[in-house]
Amino acid sequence: MKNFVTLEAVAILVGTIIGAGVFSLPYVAVHSGLNISLRWAVVTGGLVLFIHLAFGEVVLRTNGNYRLPGYANHYLGKPAYRFLLITTFLMFSFSLLIYLLMGSQFVHTIIINIFPSAHPSEALILIILWLFFSFFLVLQEGAASKLNFYFSFILLALFLIIGILCFSKFNWQVFQGINHFADQPWYLPYGVLFYALNGLVAVPEAAALLKKHSQEKKLKKVIVLGSLIPLIIYIFFIIAVVGVNGVFTSPDAVSGLLQVLGRPIVLLGALLGFLAVATSYLMFAVYIKNSFIYDFKWSPSLSYLVVILGPLLLYLLNISELISVMSLLGGLLGGLEGLVVLFVLNKAKQKSDFIPNYQMPWNPFILTVMTIALLAGALIQLGVVL
């Protein structure tokens, strides 16, 4: 039972992190340079892991059921709280919209591969997906968590299968030639990777599950595993897809595999994409709903209503530049939220008398270096969007 709880907590992180962003990574790597993208993956992965662990320590140091805005209000006061109200709205709205857009693309691919003569409407598919996800969200929060748990392990198995099949067709010459094709800024991968690796929203959910079963001492292990597993999978996936498709890598990574690996693999890849989007959508929606209830003191009814209707209303704005939006959400908004986490931890270490099960190494030098790194990352992403 204890091992199952630990696995479920890890699955919460993995299922939340591995989402829409992963399928843009091979395309970004091709157009920004493979070597620089892989280096960014390691640097960004380490940065995000540090932020996850820092947030985990904040959660363990603090009594009460909060999410990041609540911790910011508790330790930093109203200005930080109001700032996070704005970023929370932006992050959740655009993230859920991205999940719906990519999810509808994957379902569309599944349908036309099973029924070649079909011409399904992606708009109709998106509405049906929105209803499906909303049903699980309202039905029972535990149902979303359980669905995420099982989807996460199916997800890992499918990534492994597709990766192995890609490597069976690996073309080393194509792989080596990628770095001469780069036509996008060298800093583009940072924002997309930050978005794809950011699992901040899942840390309180994993901690709450462990606390429920009196296993808080395992939170550090859960965060490390839950953060590194997606990073390893991403690097594996980038190399596998780029080594097969080269400069012909598609923006969604999956459809471009048709000519090399055939229709069954594209179908499997689309299923993989749908599962990745579904797990992230459900866990992210649960986090945001809880944040509205516990941090902003909204009623459950209003919280459910905003979370459910928000992405659907944004869909009417016809937002389609997914990579630019991912860069903005990751590098800029995600980086700014990371800064809030660092300052919350700095204050928590001063104010909290409770000694948690683990403590992050901390001094003014570390805080300064991390602040500069996150600010620099946020600023360079403005170049991608503008």
Q: Which amino acid is at 93?
A: S
Q: Whole-angstrom Cα distance, residue 10 to residue 227?
A: 9
Residue 341 reports pLDDT greater than 90? yes
Residue 182 reports pLDDT greater than 70? no
What DSSP string describes 56-122?
HHHHHH--S---HHHHHHHHH-HHHHHHHHHHHHHHHHHHHHHHHHHHHHHHHHHHHHHSTT----H
Q: At what angle do helices 188-197 and 364-385 cross, to 10 degrees?
A: 110
pLDDT value at residue 147: 64
The tens digit of pLDDT for each residue in 197-223 reads 998 888 988 998 898 888 889 999 999
Highest mean predicted confidence (pLDDT) among 229-243, 245-259, 289-303: 229-243
Residue 180 reports pLDDT greater than 70? no
C-alpha separations of 320 from 94, 110, 228, 314, 323 in Å: 11, 21, 30, 11, 9
Percent of the chain whose predicted confidence (pLDDT) is above 70? 90
pLDDT value at residue 320: 57
Residue 337 reports pLDDT greater than 80? yes
pLDDT value at residue 340: 92
Residue 142 reports pLDDT greater than 60? no
Would you say the C-alpha torsion 57, 62, 65, 67 has a positive or negative sign? negative
pTM summary value: 0.83
The tens digit of pLDDT for each residue in 273-306 reads 888 788 778 777 877 787 788 777 888 888 888 8
Split at pLDDT 50, 70, 90, the class of 144 is: low
pLDDT value at residue 115: 84
Q: Around Cβ 369, how many Cβ atoms within 10 Å?
A: 10
More confident residue, 8 or 15: 8
pLDDT value at residue 235: 93
Where is average pLDDT lowest: 42-46, 133-137, 358-362? 133-137
State the DSSP H helix or E strand holding residue 182, giving kind and residue range, or none if neither.
Answer: none
Where is average pLDDT lowest: 26-35, 177-186, 332-341, 348-357? 177-186
Q: Which amino acid is at 13?
A: L
Residue 349 reports pLDDT greater than 70? yes
- DSSP secondary-structure letter at 332? I
Split at pLDDT 50, 70, 90, the class of 228 is: very high
Residue 362 reports pLDDT greater than 60? yes
More confident residue, 42 or 3: 42
Q: How many residues does the chain have?
A: 386
On whether the CB atoms of residues 11 and 149 are closer than 8 A, the answer is yes
Average pLDDT, the chain: 83
Q: Around Cβ 386, how many Cβ atoms within 10 Å?
A: 7
pLDDT value at residue 30: 87
pLDDT value at residue 47: 94
pLDDT value at residue 7: 87
Walk me through the domains of the chain, giving residue ranges and CATH numbers.
Answer: 2-385 (1.20.1740.10)
Split at pLDDT 50, 70, 90, the class of 384 is: low
SS3 content of the chain, % helix, strand, coil (to 5): 85, 0, 15
Q: Which two tokens stand for residue 62?
A: 């603090």
Burial of 291 (0-12, 13-18, 19+ CB in 10 A): buried
On whether the CB atoms of residues 385 and 327 are closer than 8 A, the answer is yes
Q: Within its chain, how far is the Cα of 102 from the centroid?
A: 13
What DSSP string describes 221-282?
HHHHHHHHHHHHHHHHHHHHHHHHHGGG--TTSSGGGHHHH-HHHHHHHHHHHHHHHHHHHH
Q: Whole-angstrom Cα distance, residue 171 to residue 245?
A: 8
Split at pLDDT 50, 70, 90, the class of 141 is: low
pLDDT value at residue 368: 92
pLDDT value at residue 181: 64
On whether the CB atoms of residues 68 and 337 are closer than 8 A, the answer is yes
Average the pLDDT over 331-356 and give the result: 86
Owner of token pair 């992965």: 45
On whether the CB atoms of residues 113 and 263 are closer than 8 A, the answer is yes
Number of Cα atoms under 13 Å in the Cβ half of residue 88: 26
Q: Which two tokens stand for residue 274?
A: 């749908």
pLDDT value at residue 386: 53
pLDDT value at residue 335: 86
Average the pLDDT over 363-371 and give the result: 90
Q: Which amino acid is at 137?
A: L
